[in-house]
Each structure stands twice: as C-alpha cells, then as structure tokens.
Amino acid sequence: MTGVDPGRLDDQQLMKELETIHRTRHDTLLYGSNDALRAHNERMAQLEGEYLRRNPRRFVAASRTRDGARDRATAGDGPTGDRRDGRTPVGKWGPGDKGAGRERTP
C-alpha cells in the first residue's frame, strides 16, 4: 500500500487526502504511466472506502441521484444541491453525521 492506512487518519487528514487525490486524478489519467494510474486507483478506492465506512448516512443531494438527474433534464436546470430533506451535507460543506461520540471499528 502507498501512503498511510486510511483507517489511521483522523477525519481532517482523510478529507485532505481525498481532496488531493481527486485534484490530481485528471493529470494521472492523462499523463501517468499504467503503474501510476493503477496505484492512483488503488489509493483512491482505499480512501473513498474509508470515507464511506465512516459516513454511512452521508448527505446525498436529490439532484445527484438518477431520478434527480432525470428531473433536472426535463426541467432544464443544473445541479441544485437540493436540501429539502433537512439534512446537512458532510465534510467541509457542513457538520453532517461525522460519527461524533462513536468509536470506529476496524
């Protein structure tokens, strides 16, 4: 494995790692070697898997689902970040359900 085991990162470190790997994704795809792309894929899967494990009830915008995309296409609208369900997004967009007070399990 390249990098620190995602399970050992705190929430802030994990988000920083995710932001970095997503920011570098396009260049790796276009200009990286096959080995670099493979390593990038593996690391991204590890980090995203850890994020999803920690945030199983993360905010999902209605506009980011298939039905929401269909509604948007018929209405001619762009992404809305619909929050009519009253939930707050996770991460830098809001507190969400970060699992405060819960112990993480390996």
Neighbouring C-beta atoms of residue 99, cutoff 10 Å:
15
pLDDT digits (tens, 9 = 90+) for 52-94: 999 999 888 888 888 887 887 787 655 554 445 555 555 555 5
DSSP state of 96: -
Cβ-proximal residues to 50 (8 Å cutoff; 6+ apart), any chain:
6, 7, 9, 14
Alpha helices in 1-106 (DSSP H): 11-31, 34-54, 66-75
Average pLDDT, the chain: 81
Distance CA 62, CA 72 (A): 10
- In this structure, are residues 50 and 7 in contact, taking their beta carbons and an 8 Å threshold? yes
Tokens of 64: 């980011």
pLDDT at residue 82, rounded to an integer: 47
